Amino acid sequence: MGRYVRGILISQLIWTPHARAFDFFRTHFLTGNASGNNHLEIGPGHGLFLYFASQDPKMAHLEAWDVSQSSIAATKHALSALGVKRHIDLIEQDVLTSPPNPAFFDSAIISEVLEHLERPDLALQSLRQALRPGGRLFINVPINSPAPDHIYLWTTIEGFVDFVKAQGFEIEDQQFLPVTGHSLERAVKKKLSISCILIARRPMH
């Protein structure tokens, strides 16, 4: 697991769609949060998203869930190596189950996790319950990416956006990043891998 997490960390830094997705999180998602923000990450892995969330003075509470103790240990190690000093609750919790504290979080992120789940619909429904009305969710999912560990495969941008809306979210912002070296138009036409990033919001009512 440690080697896998390190591989993801490297890809975040050198693979263009991952790096641009990470930048979108920093410049479009974190900046839209209000002061006193309670923030949740699902599958924190390499710790980079948590690192930048931890540097945001608007954050009042930081929490991350993972189903694997070894992954949690790897995240703790990564955060320590990145010099994170503030407290972050790292909890063994399955996102597919009902959240222990409904309507507690103001923001959440689930990046490159949904495609690894048999029931990504239940994961989004659980996150909708975990968020307060008006709470924001950063989602990053690759489409047309049939990797061996990708259990759930979306094949179109429209299909994925409709899937998120069907779980009770409104779309605030979006960005679609084709595989390196291709335009979005060509990637759609050739059914190449595209990183689909949505900033979604739990409706106020």
Identify whether the C-beta of residue 178 lies closer than 8 Å to the C-beta of residue 184: yes
pTM over 0.85: yes
Identify whether the C-beta of residue 123 lies closer than 8 Å to the C-beta of residue 151: no
Over its C-alpha atoms, the chain yields an Rg (Å, rounded) of 16
12 has pLDDT over 70: no
Identify whether the C-beta of residue 18 lies closer than 8 Å to the C-beta of residue 196: no
Residues 205 and 201: their CA atoms lie apart, in Å, by 11
Using a pLDDT cut of 90, give the percent of the chain over it: 82
Report pLDDT for 2. 46
Q: How far is CA 185 from CA 4, 147, 179, 181, in A?
A: 31, 22, 11, 12
| Nearest Cα residue to 108 out of 39, 61, 27 | 39
Q: Which pLDDT tens digit goes with each residue over 65-121? A: 999 999 999 999 989 988 999 999 999 999 999 999 999 999 999 999 999 999 999
Q: Which pLDDT tens digit goes with each residue over 22-44? A: 899 999 999 999 999 999 999 99
